[in-house]
Structure 1
Amino acid sequence: MNPTSEPQYCPDEYERLSYYNGITGDGDHPELVYRSDFLTTPFSRPIGRHPSIPVKSLRGVFDTPLNSVWDTVGPQILNLIKAREIRWSSVDPARFFTHAQLGEEAKGTLGPVVIWVGVFPGSTSSDIAHEISQDILALLLKNGVKDVVAPPLLRHVGSTNSTHYVRRILTALLGIPLATEEMEEEDAEGTLTLWIHEDKDKHGNPSNKVYGVSNCHVLRKNTTVGYDHRGGAPTDHVRVCGMRRFQRGLDEIRKAITDHDILAELWAREIVQLQANEVQDAENVREIRLTRGKLEDVNEAIADLEGLYDEVMKDWSNIKLQRNIGYVQYAAAITVDEGGPRYTSDWAAFSAAEAKVKAKFEGNIVDLGSKYSPQELTDMFNPVSGGQTTFKFPEGRKLRIEGCATEEDLAHPAVFDSEGQRCLIVGKDGNSTDLTVGRYAGLVSFTQNEVGIESVELGIYNSGVKTAEVFSAKGDSGSLVWHTTNGKAHIVGQLHSGLNKGGSTSNHVTYCTPGWYLLAQIKERFKYAEFYRTTW
């Protein structure tokens, strides 16, 4: 380690002195050297006319996975610390309770289990503490202790895995549901548009940061003023799944289990019936063998789904502690470019938490899911039966975004419909309606909102094979709209609104900001942004 380099994991002065405020009662609390959840849970500064430092108190550790293995792993943790020749003073299992403001006591929060290591002042650095912490976390994981630090997002799995569809809301692919701490009470939700790599910060210094993009109105309550988070300022956490979407996800898993239970019971009855047949010829024996195979498969699927349900309940049910995947970094106020093409600018970016996202990050990929079969989806993107199609169903259902459609691309698409007219078939994956297919209007649309502001938009019409299916609904805001050409997916735009009948949540026209315009807007704030990298 270069002794002159700036420590990477050192808390700032305010956090170092204030993090443990309250645990001694007399203000003589310890100073913080390092904490392993600094990426997922930034330490906020107090704001307002009468700011006060958050007050913590200590809680014991009971009924957790750590309790059953502490007698074994406790001494091993101690040995890891000794091996680094650190002057340690204590190793304690603990939980920290953060008290709410006076009069709001019920809103206090209990933190996760912590391995709290005390050291003599000046005996180690935050970088060394980080290295030891990774060893300790690996040791805990090896011994089945997963809830000391919230786990990363789930990995995407293939279609042979029975959990592939129901786990989609907790992966790092595009279309995942988003909600913010600021709008938790409203339970407002939206959708991830894109991941972008900073590559270099605005000063030209190398940067390894990754940001998630969505609509401004998805990530910010006040959309009339711009926002740019400064170091040390309070953070607004971004969560994967709001309360409604998380419950819907649990319901989807339970329904999948129930559906498989029905099949298991059916196959079991059929096997009994087949075995009872008086004639046990070759066809009967073959039918028994095939049905047993189906029963084994469905029982395996039930076990996988039940395992996923238990994992999701254990590792993801606490929205405050387990579902934070970053914090809002930047939001441009919602505007219409009145001096230019009059497109709507409605976007914001959040800083992705490396500890939650990096391990399962694959870049900008759309999960085509299982709502439609490969044959059905290919037909939907090919409006002429047997004709030429620009859509090719990708391996593993993972459609990678590899470019952005130009105005020329949208004006002169290569596909023709059954009436012999040019058409552009587009797709999107959103929080509310999942994967849907629509048709671009061909020419830009003109809209006027309730306060009289006029804008120019890309209009998307509902489409379908037999009957029109709604392209978007409330909660799909932020979804990336894309089309394919030569088997590759290109950005069309960012979904931000729709036109519906009165209070209906289903749109008959969906509106989005052109992709080329959105990327240019992002480049104004993130000058060195890269949009198509495949690794963190």
Structure 2
Amino acid sequence: MKSHSVFYPNAASDFYGTPSGPLCVYKSGDLWPVHTGLESERIIREARPVYDHPMQDHWPEIGERLYTLLDDNEIRWTSIDPLAFAEAGEEPFCPLLLWIGVEPASLGSEDAHTVAEAATFLLASFGFQGIEIGFRESVVTRSQSSSKMLSYDSPDPFPELRKPFTPILGLPIALQNFPYFEGTGALYLRPCEKSDIIYLLTCAHVVRPLRNTDTHWSKYPRLSHKVIALGQMGYNNAVKGIQDRIAFENSSIALYEELGDKNGESKEDMLVLAQRSKQNKRMANDLHSTITKHWTDVKARVIGRVDCAPPVGVHGGFTEDWALIELENDKFNLTTFKGNQVYVDKKSSPAEYAEMMYPNVKDRANFTYPKNDLLQAYGVVPADEIRKPQHLDRNGNKCMFVVKNGLATGTTFGRCTGMESFTRVYYMETKMTAKEIAVLPYSNKEGPFSDKGDSGSIVLTRDGSILGMITGGAGCTNATDVSYLTPFWFILEQIRKAYPNCHLY
């Protein structure tokens, strides 16, 4: 930290509160406010999306010119995110910051200052003044981490415990031969109307974790690329969740029975609660027995085979990172198969869901809580709507609220940005530069929108429109400050080059 703060005094405070809390290498413009005094706490800040900025229509060209400038100055940059910043829960005090990630320990404050001045001059040549430039240490990562699938019964006393073993999106997946490289299934597709084949969409880097060659895996023998539901982490976490619930019910039973013995007036109520906990414990034990009997063997969790996984690359500016898994239909109960529905988490009540996804009362005319906690995916969010959303935040500002369910972080809510981010990934002697749709955490209280293991998760708007698929994220530690996705309209275009009649299940 010393190397940053010698030249830039607010290194530890500017971005405090974001999930990874990166140090600020340097920021142009006026110093942001800080609390003073020996015992003063740092101000908690949140990154916010930017919409309808005068620079928005020019941003694709400016962004490319900016990363070319960084390359010319030999800056090992990893991401460029056009964002606003606010104190937690408040209106933004910084309307637009170009938040530039650089590889750790690759850039000093003085060099960052010099490059920021050049970037400011570049912006001025397009007629834009007063836009701040901020550098932070950050890396972009691609997020990896035979009985039938269980049905999702509703109402279910433990939907969050049962969900990982059902085909409800996002389905945790991995290659059978590499169960520790894990990801998430995005959407179910069909190759054409009359086909019985069901495909599961995910990221190519999830199902080809160790190499990225120019060969499509569909040309290889399919038997060598079996895909399982629940890799190592996914299975262990799901089983532990059941065990924790059993332990919780045991503690509840003991507590209610003890209170029933001490309080004569409430004895009957305590016995009812104890009986309910005993019933919950029996159901949790039954689920645990089913899982440990039929799901422990990795071979029993095979659900399909990789049908097509193009090499990860950049086409049309966006990351092309998709794969299709042909599912084994006999592993699914098709009579109860719900298709493209995303679990939005029982922990969020209808009132809480409305407060988060429809925070402005003027914007709730069409609000309905997802039936059985499942949000139906339908339609595709077009590029124009991403840039000009119609949702309203609490203060009446335009915004796009989104939701996803993934292996690593479960159900999370976020805010989509209005201008694309640029990312740079370095691998040996090669580098890949791409445009990405960026999603920010809903607020500093909710934590990151995604993490390693969430790659492949489909991101929906609050009403179920399909925004895109998570391919990675950026942060300076194990936490993710910005999640990146490829827009679904682009993914569908690429899929239809190989499968012309492919459509949603």
Aligned residues, how many? 355
- 2:23 alignment counterpart: none
Shift of 1:506: 1.5
- Name the structure 1 match of 2:417: 441
In structure 2, what is the Cα distance between the partners aligned to 1:232 and 1:192? 22
Higher mean C-alpha deviation, range 466-475 or range 513-522? 466-475
> In the aligned structure 2, how far is the partner of 1:389 from the partner of 1:317?
47
1:515 matched to 2:493? The reply is no
Q: Is the 8 A contact 2:222 2:305 kept in 1?
A: no
Match of 1:189, SS state, is strand
Residue number among 375, 392, 395 corresponding to 2:351 in the alignment = 375
Equivalent pair of 2:218/2:309 in contact (CA under 8 Å): no
Q: Look up the match of 1:216.
A: 204
- Give the deviation of 1:390 after TM superposition: 5.5
Larger Rg: 1
Q: Which residue of 1 aligns with 2:395?
A: 419
SS of 2:395 mapped into structure 1: coil
Q: Is the 8 A contact 2:225 2:305 kept in 1?
A: yes
Unaligned runs of 5+ in 1: 1-149, 201-205, 276-283
1:295 maps to amino acid? A
**Per-residue deviation, 1:228:** 4.4
Alignment deviations for residues 407-427 of structure 1 (CA, whole Å, 9 cap, x no partner)? 222222222223332111111
User: How far 1:298 sits from its partner (Å)?
Assistant: 1.2
Equivalent residue number for residue 429 of structure 1: 405
Q: Secondary structure at the match of 2:455?
A: coil
- For residues 439 and 237 of structure 1, do their structure 2 counterparts lie closer, same or farther at Cα, with a shift above 3 Å needed? same
What residue is the counterpart of 1:453 in the other structure? 432
Corresponding residue for 1:173? 168
| Offset, 1:168 | 1.1
| Pairing 1:26-425 to 2, within 5 Å after superposition | 150-159=146-155, 161-184=156-179, 187-199=180-192, 206-221=194-209, 222-229=211-218, 234-275=223-264, 284=265, 287-320=266-299, 322-337=300-315, 340=316, 342-359=317-334, 360-384=336-360, 388=364, 391-425=367-401
Deviation (angstroms), 1:232: 5.9
Give the distance between the partners of 1:336 and 1:410, measured in 2 at CA.
20
Aligned-pair Cα RMSD in Å:
2.0
C-alpha distance in structure 2 between counterparts of 1:269 and 1:468, whole Å: 36
Separation in 2 of the partners of 1:411 and 1:169? 34
SS state of the match for residue 448, structure 1?
strand
- Specify whether residues 328 and 232 from structure 1 end up closer, same or farther in structure 2 by C-alpha distance, changes over 3 A only: closer
| SS, match of residue 452 in structure 1 | strand
CA displacement at 1:213 relative to structure 2: 0.8
Check 1:461–1:355 CA distance in 2 against 1; reply closer, same or farther (3 A cut).
same
Q: Does 1:526 align with 2:499?
A: yes
Give a deviation string over 1:429-463, Cα, whole Å, max 9, x none.
Answer: 01000000111111111222224322111011111
Q: How much does 1:389 deviate?
A: 6.6
Amino acid at match of 2:272: G
1:469 aligns with 2:457: no
Question: Once the 2 structures are TM-superposed, how far is the Cα of residue 391 of structure 1 from its aligned partner?
Answer: 4.6
| Structure with the larger RCO, 1 or 2 (CA within 8 Å, 6+ apart) | 2
Q: Secondary structure, in 3 states, of the residue corresponding to 2:422?
A: strand
Q: Which amino acid aligns with 1:351?
A: E
Which whole-Å CA distance do the structure 2 matches of 1:387 and 1:524 have between them? 39
Aligned to 2:19: none
One-letter code aligned to 1:273? K
Partners of 1:386 and 1:355 lie apart in 2 by 47
SS in 2 for 1:478: coil
Structure 1 match to 2:458: 480
> What is the CA–CA distance in structure 1 between the aligned matches of 2:350 and 2:295, rounded to whole Å?
31
Per mean C-alpha deviation after superposition, the further-off stretch among 264-273 and 250-259 is 264-273
Q: Is this contact kept in 1: 2:223–2:305, CA < 8 A?
A: no
Counterpart residue identity of residue 471, structure 1: F
Deviates more, 1:474-483 or 1:394-403: 394-403
2:498 and 2:245 mapped to 1: Cα distance? 43
Distance 1:197 1:234 in 2: 21
1:87 corresponding residue in structure 2: none
Structure 2 distance, partners of 1:230, 1:224, is 13
| Cα pair distance change 1:385/1:207, threshold 3 Å | closer
* Paired residue type of 2:480: N
Question: How much has 1:269 moved relative to structure 2?
Answer: 1.5
The answer as to whether partners of 1:402 and 1:490 remain within 8 angstroms in 2 is: yes
Compared with structure 1, are the counterparts of its residues 236 and 307 closer, same or farther at alpha carbon in structure 2 (3 Å cutoff)? Answer: same
2:486 maps to 1:493: no
TM-score normalised per structure 1? 0.63
Please name the residue that 2:11 is paired with: none
| Separation (CA, whole Å) in 1 of partners of 2:215 and 2:337 | 29
Contact 1:216 1:223 in 2 (8 A): no
Q: Greater share of strand residues, 1 or 2?
A: 2
Partners of 2:333 and 2:324 in 1: CA distance: 17
Shift of 1:385: 5.8
Counterparts of 2:455 and 2:228 in 1: how far apart (Å)? 15
- Identify the range of structure 1 (208-217 vs 363-372) with the bigger mean alpha-carbon deviation: 363-372
1:314 is paired with a residue whose SS is helix
| Cα distance in 2 between the residues matched to 1:152 and 1:407 | 38
